[in-house]
Structure formats: structure tokens, C-alpha cells
Chain A
Amino acid sequence: MTDAFRIAKRRRAIHGWLLLSPALVMLSTFAFYPSVATLWASFFSRETRRHPSEFIGLDNYRFLFEDPTFWKVAGNNLLYAGVTIPISIALALVMALWANSKIPGKSFLRTAYFTPTVLPMIAAGNLWLFFYTPDIGVLDQLFGLVGLGSMNWLGRPETSLWAICIVTIWKESGFFMIFYLAALQTIPPELKEAADIEGASRWTYTRRIVLPLLMPTTLFILVNALINSVKLIDHLFILTKGGPSDSSKLILYYIWELSFAFFDSPMAAATTVLVLAVLGIVAALQFGLLDRRTHYQ
């Protein structure tokens, strides 16, 4: 190795770090540092007037696991994710396939599907309040027409979580549809023609050609949907506030309550760490498992 070569190499390395540094600084300040700080905070006890905060190791986690509300909320969130993710993705796919076909009023259809996405979640919540409100809501009025009695969709433990799920699906599927639409438009039309000449039915074409080619998009959407199933809770504030009796409470709402209603930030930190860990593991699994079966163009 000559000197000149070594200098050139070092210069390249410096260049590389310089290019990386803005992202590094931003990520460190706004992502890495808060995560580590949260982890650290979760090892301390709650500070009260009498007892200053002290290091208690994993005790916060133990309390959390002994707390039935935590398990209730975790179960709620699992059900919420299990319902909203597959349904909103399936709906998005169906709507995208439809909006991509040669039908009149195609652009109107696309806009109509996309509208829920541009609404803030709070506005969506208010909109759905207008549907769900007992007696005067649209749903009750409709049920009244066919002779069914009034129903408090949001106020009953059996239905509140489902009502929340429906709002989320309504909101999310239009958003995911845009990704599917974009991906569908990258599929050359000759592939359909080639399949037509071979005598493939529409269904065969969709199953054997379109769906595999949409796999990278599906993977991307899946990860997004998963994150959203934890992240997207704004409508809870409008619709149910997690009630009645925690029946529609989701984990992030619970964290918010812990830290801003009960002022127990160490517990909130511990819960956050758990959520982060679970999300990280699931995302890694998704990418690891599905990546191998996915064709990238």
C-alpha cells in the first residue's frame, strides 16, 4: 500500500462519515437517545414527595406483568391488530385492483377511496361519532328504519373495540390502496396480454402474476400497518377514551394514561420499552421470513 493510496482511502472514509453525519445527529438526538433514556428511566421508581426516585432494577416490569389492566390492554391491542391489519390490507388490495381496471369514473373512485387518508384521525373520530351516537347517529337512524332498537356501539364493552376497529380500517385501507395502486401501475400491461394469450383467467393472472409482483408492497404495508396498530390511537380520545371499563383501551393510550393521567412515568417507560421490543422483533421476523419469498424488481 502506498502512502497516496492510504491517504485517498482515509479521505474517502472521512467523506463517508461527513455524508452520514446529518442523519446520525438527527437520529441520535431524536431516536437513539430517547430510546436509551426511556430504557434507563424504566429501571427507577416513581418519584413522590416523600420518596425520591431510586434504582429498582426490573421491579417496574414485574409490577407491569402483575397488573391485570396491562394484560387486558395488551389483549385488546392484539385483537385490534389481528382484525385491522388483514382486513385493511385485503380491502386496500381489492379496491386497488378495482380502481386500476378499465372502468368509467376511475379517477373519482381513487379520490373517493383516498379521502379518509387526508383527514386527521381526530376529524375521522368526530365523523364517526356522528355515525355511532345512540338514537341520533346515522347507524341508529338506519336501524330504526328497519325496526331495530337503539344501540350504544361505543358505550358497550362488547362492541366498543369493534367500533374502533371499523374506524381504523376505514381510515387505513384508502392509504394502503395508494401504495398498491402505484405498484400495480408498474406492472407492464403486456404481462396481462401474455397471460391472456396463454388462456389464463383473470383470477389465475391475479394469483400467479399480480399478487407475487405486489409482494414487496405488501411487505412494506404490513410493517406500516403493524406500526400503525400501535401508533394510531387518536380516535380513542374522541370516541371512547379507552372505555367502558378498559374494553377499548390500546397500549399506547395506556402509556399515555400512565404518564399523563397517573404521572407514573417509570411505568410508562417500562411499557414503552416492552412495546418497542415486541415491535422490533416482529418487524425483524417479517423482513426475515418474507424477504426470502419476495421478488424485488
Chain B
Amino acid sequence: MSDPFVELHEIRRQWDGKGGVRGVSLSVPRGAFVSILGPSGCGKSTLLRLLAGLEVPQSGQILIGGQDVTHAAPSARGLSMVFQSYALFPHLSVRENILFGMKVRRASRAAQAEKLAEAVAMTGLEGLEDRKPGALSGGQRQRVALARAVVAGHPLCLMDEPLSNLDAKLRHSVRRDIKALQRRLGLTVVYVTHDQSEAMSLSDHVVLMKDGAVQQQGHPEDLYTRPATPFVAEFIGDPPMALVEGAALGQAAAQIGIRVEKIERAHVDDADLVAHVEACEFLGGETRVLLSHPRARGLGLILTGRRELAPGTALGLALPDEHRVLFPAPGGQKDPQQNYGATDRQTAPRDGRKAPSQQTEEVSR
């Protein structure tokens, strides 16, 4: 991972000043696996389509392999794409679907046969070459779309929620296939998803978007341990970070985030917070206790083994200083109290918060 292979500079594409993406910058090293993550409608697909050349930015610049391709045709950008809906040609067999691009580019028959065999073996589609997409399962269709993208031999591959139509089990196995394929071929992949666990497990670099702008980007671990905003804190991780009103802990920050697994049980007398049990979820190896507190949300406690606590039981919690993440009040004058009770994942933006990286104030690491 060295020179930036794909670069976006302040890309903007909106419809009547709404939707789309506004001012997104991004730099992807060669051979990286980058995930674009965010809730529905935040502009992930728009960003990918801008990269592919299916949409033209209103301002900004796109570079691929050092060349300015901002206004280049999709086919001139040397990339392949896996569509959310797969976009397989329904009247063509698997073989013809995979070879469509090579036929368009008039590759020799021998080269076609060789590439086809390779792609079919790689994606485990042997024996299905003569089927039409209509006679394939969702997972098989997905693999055909993947094979079609791979056979082009382009170094850059864009994927728009390729797994969203698959069931949970298949999703896990295809996810591993994609990762293995990417490694083997040394592909640079830009991968759109709204599933944070998918993004976290697959990628070297995660770009978390909200309302058309980047909230935070970086290594999955950065986003997990050092979220830049409460939005990031609540989007990343399962369970997401717990958020506590700063005043409740006697600190100046508007909100304080902490990973649930870092919260410890303490005696009620010297606890940081006293919360009440709402429910217990037994997950096999551990029990996740959901807690409620009037000035916090997402509070929880993880206990080993199977534990049964009656709802309403008061529990003392210790929030270790070194694991606290402080978020200053947005804009400075708003009462953070109003945020509580509603979850940030659904709410509209309360301000024009953009550059996220300076927003984090870490107590310690």
C-alpha cells in the first residue's frame, strides 16, 4: 500500500441542492479494500456511481491511477462494477454474461475460453455455464456478477451492496469469497454497504458517511475505538457505544461514549453511574444486560455465563477513564439533553458538522 490509486477531491453531486454527496474527499491506495458505510440514503451509491462514471460530479476531481478521469466515459476508467441488483443480462447464459465485455472488446476466442474457465473455477460456477440467470439462486447470480467483474481483469472493482439480497449464512460465505478473491488478484476494491459488521470485517479502510458527507474515515479499529462523533460511536460496533451525558459524570464534554464491553460492575456506593436493568439477553458464552439511565442511552453490561437479573434491579457501573471518548457539544450552544431518547441513526443532521477529525478529544489511550 503506497501511492494513492484512486483519489477523490471535494466531489459534489446533488439534485436541487438535496441528496447525493457534498464535498467528499477520499484516497485509496493500490490493492486496498475500502468500504463506504452509512445509513440508507446517505449517498453511498451516488459516490460509487461518480467513481464509475455513471454520474458526473458538479464540482471536484476524480483521479484513477494518477489520471484525471472526472469527465471520462465509464469504459475509459479501467474498472469493473458489481451492481446491487447484479444487472445480469437475463436473456444471456452465464457464459455469455461473463464474456460480454470480452466479446465487446473483441478478445480472441482462446483468450475468452481461458478467462472463462478461470473465472468459473474461481467463483465455483462449474456446470452452470449454460443456465440463464433466471434459473440460478441469488448466491449463484451474485457469483456470476462477481465473475463478470473479475474476468475484465481491471485493477479496480466497485461493488454496490453486493450481498444485500442474500441470507445471513450465504452472506458470510460469499463475503469470505470476495475477500479471498481480492487478495489473490491484488484488486483494489471499493465496497458499498450499510452493514457495519461487513465493513469492519472486510476492509482496510472504512469511510463512514451521513447525509452526503464523510463523518469519519480510517482503519476499522480507529472508528471503533476513537469515533469522531456520537453518530460514528452509535453506528459502529455491535452493540454500539453507550452515550452518557457529560454532566452525569461530572465532566465538561457534552457527551461521553464508552464501549459496552469496557463497562465494569461496581458497588453502588462508589459507582460512576447507577442504572436499572431493563432486560437480559443470554448469548451463550455471555449475558448482555440492557440498562436504562435517564441521562444515557445504549448502556449495557456484559457478564460471563448465564445470569438472570430481575428488571428494575439497580446496578452500579464503573466507566474507566481510559476508555471514555469525549464529544464536545455540537455548535456549542445547544442543549445536549434534547438528543436523548431518540437514536442518532435516524435523526436528521442537527448542524453542518463536517470535518470530523478535530472533534475528538481523547482523555487517554
A residues bordering B, Cβ < 8 Å? 188, 190-191, 193-201, 204, 208-209, 212-213, 215, 295, 297
Contacts and interface: CB of A to CB of B under 8 A. Distances in A.
Contact of A188 (B74, B75, B87): B87
Query: Chain B interface: which size bin?
Result: 20 to 34
A194 B144 CA distance: 13
| 9 A-B pairs with the lowest CB-CB distances in the bound complex, closest first | A199-B75, A198-B101, A295-B91, A190-B87, A194-B87, A200-B104, A197-B74, A196-B74, A212-B91
Given A197-B53, A201-B104, 14 more contacts: A190-B83, A191-B87, A193-B81, A194-B89, A196-B54, A196-B74, A196-B75, A198-B101, A199-B75, A200-B75, A208-B100, A209-B89, A295-B90, A297-B134
Nearest to A204: B104
Interface string B187-221: 00000000000000000000000000000000000
Given A190-B85, A196-B73, A196-B74, A295 B132 contact: yes
Contacts of B302: none
B104 A194 contact: no
A197 B90 contact: no
Contact of B100 (A195, A215, A297): A195
B348 to A, nearest CB: 29
Contact of B74 (A190, A193, A209, A213): A193
B80 interface: yes
Contacts of B80: 197
B21 interface: no
Interface of B: 52-54, 73-75, 79-81, 83, 85, 87, 89-91, 100-101, 104-105, 132, 134, 152
A205 to B, nearest CB: 9
A194 B91 contact: no
B261 to A, nearest CB: 41
A197 B100 contact: no
Nearest to A205: B104
A191 B133 CA distance: 13
Given A190-B83, A190-B85, A197 B52 contact: yes
A193 B152 contact: no
B91 A197 contact: no
A135 to B, nearest CB: 54
B85 A199 contact: no
A68 B54 CA distance: 63
Contacts of A193: 52, 54, 74, 81, 83, 87
A199 B78 CA distance: 10
A103 B182 CA distance: 40
A167 B87 CA distance: 41
A191 B92 CA distance: 12
Contacts of A200: 75, 100-101, 104
Nearest to B75: A199
